[in-house]
Amino acid sequence: MASSMTGYGRAEIENGIYKFSVEINTVNNRFLEYQMRLPKSLSQLENNIKNLLGSKFSRGKVMITVNWEQESADSAIALDEVRADAFFRIYQLLKERYSLEGAINMHDFAALPDLIKVEKQEDDIEKIWSVLSRAVETAADATIRMRLTEGANLVKDMLERISGIRAVTDTIQSLSGENVTLYQTRLKSRIEELMKGIEVDDQRVATEVALLADKSDITEECVRLKSHLEQYESSLSETGPVGKRLNFILQELNRETNTIGDKSAYYEISRRVIMVKEEIERLREQVQNIE
């Protein structure tokens, strides 16, 4: 079933250390395009995310927002032993040089700046990706489900329009004989008007009229138009990207319809040609949102 390019999905996943929320919005676009909003610390995973999304989507603009709600990793508290040794030597030097009394105690060291430091351990990017990838995939799958639902609605509407175009085409084809007769009558009348007072071969005139009138026959165009309608319906039932193919078929439908209009000498046919062209234009608008 054809899929729409419009969709939305959200996912939130955590493992006790890392917690991510991912939102994905997709809209129609001729190609596959990405727009990402990631925490700066996750920028190195941008290609990983693109590759994952590329396996899920074929067309459309994919906008993804990633929030890392718990970025703190395990931290370790460490003593700056070099700094502590330096201060201790200074204390000892001061006591000896100036004959100071009193012992150096814990309070003296606790008051020293930057003696105890918190070392944040580096995040393991592979572990991060193992969690984040699940969030991205879950959000992408939710988006796909919405796109399929929207696509089903579009397909239903397009099938109804295709059915309408087929019915009008059947009517146009049934009027084909009248179109030829009317064309012959008008052409013969015009020739007789131009040839007044001039002797001509009636048989030759009749032959030329028949040949020209034959060019006004729209049966072949109607047959091809209905064939394109069948291809359109068949494509709508297929899985995978079909938007570009549908757009091409619409061009062919429009071409055949224009040819019928050009050949028409009958008002009832011309009126129905306009109806078909209006429906084709509505289909063209909808196809722009089919993947």
Question: Residue for token digits 């105890």?
Answer: 116
pLDDT score at 184: 65
Q: Are residues 54 and 156 in the same domain?
A: no
Q: What end-to-end distance do the CA atoms of the chain give, in Å?
A: 11
Count of all residues that appear for the chain in the document = 291
Q: Which helix (H) or strand (E) holds 24?
A: strand 19-27
Residues 38 and 115 in one domain: no
What pLDDT is stored for residue 98 in this prediction?
79
In a domain, 237, yes or no: yes
Same domain, 135 and 250: no
154, 281: one domain: yes
CA–CA separation, 44 vs 66, rounded Å? 13
Judgement on whether residues 190 and 116 belong to the same structural domain of the protein? no
User: Domain limits at 271?
Assistant: 148-287
pLDDT at residue 282, as a whole number: 96
Domain count, the chain: 3
Q: Is residue 200 part of a domain?
A: yes
Q: Are residue 141 and residue 153 in the same domain, yes or no? A: no
HEC sequence for 6-69: CEEEEEEEECCCCEEEEEEEEECCCCEEEEEECCHHHHHHHHHHHHHHHCCCCCEEEEEEEEEC
Q: In this predicted model, what pLDDT tens digit does every residue of 192-231 receive, in sequence order?
A: 666 666 665 666 656 655 655 566 678 889 999 999 999 9
Is-contact 3 290, C-beta < 8 A?
A: yes
Per-residue pLDDT at 146: 96
Same domain, 114 and 169: no
Please indicate, yes or no, if residue 54 is contained in any of the structural domains: yes
Burial of residue 224 (CB within 10 Å: 0-12, 13-18, 19+) is: middle
Q: Running DSSP on this structure, what letter comes out for residue 12?
A: E
Q: What are phi and psi of 32, to 5 degrees?
A: -90, 120
pLDDT in tens, 181-196: 766 676 667 666 666 6
Domain CATH number, residue 47: 3.30.230
CB 158 within 8 A of CB 234: no
Residues 38 and 84 placed together within one structural domain of the fold: no
In a shared domain, residues 163 and 240: yes
Tokens of 193: 């008007």
Specify if 114 maps to a domain: yes
Per-residue model confidence as pLDDT tens digits over 26-48: 999 989 999 999 998 899 999 99
> What's the average model confidence in pLDDT over 15-36?
93
**Same domain as 154, residue 97:** no
At residue 255's C-alpha, the angle toward residues 249 and 170, to 5°, is: 85
Give dist(CA 2, CA 285) in Å, integer: 15
Do 175 and 283 share a domain, yes or no? yes
Residue-wise pLDDT tens digits, 232-250: 999 998 888 999 999 999 9
- Please check whether residue 231 is in contact with residue 248, taking contact to mean a CB–CB distance below 8 angstroms: no
Query: What are the residues whose beta carbons fall under 8 Å from the beta carbon of 147, sequence distance 6 or more?
Result: 3, 4, 5, 6, 7, 26, 291
Which residue spans within 98-184 are E strands per DSSP?
A: 116-120
Please report whether residue 2 resides in a domain: no
**Domain match, 140 and 237 both:** no
Q: Is residue 271 part of a domain?
A: yes
Residue type, 178: E
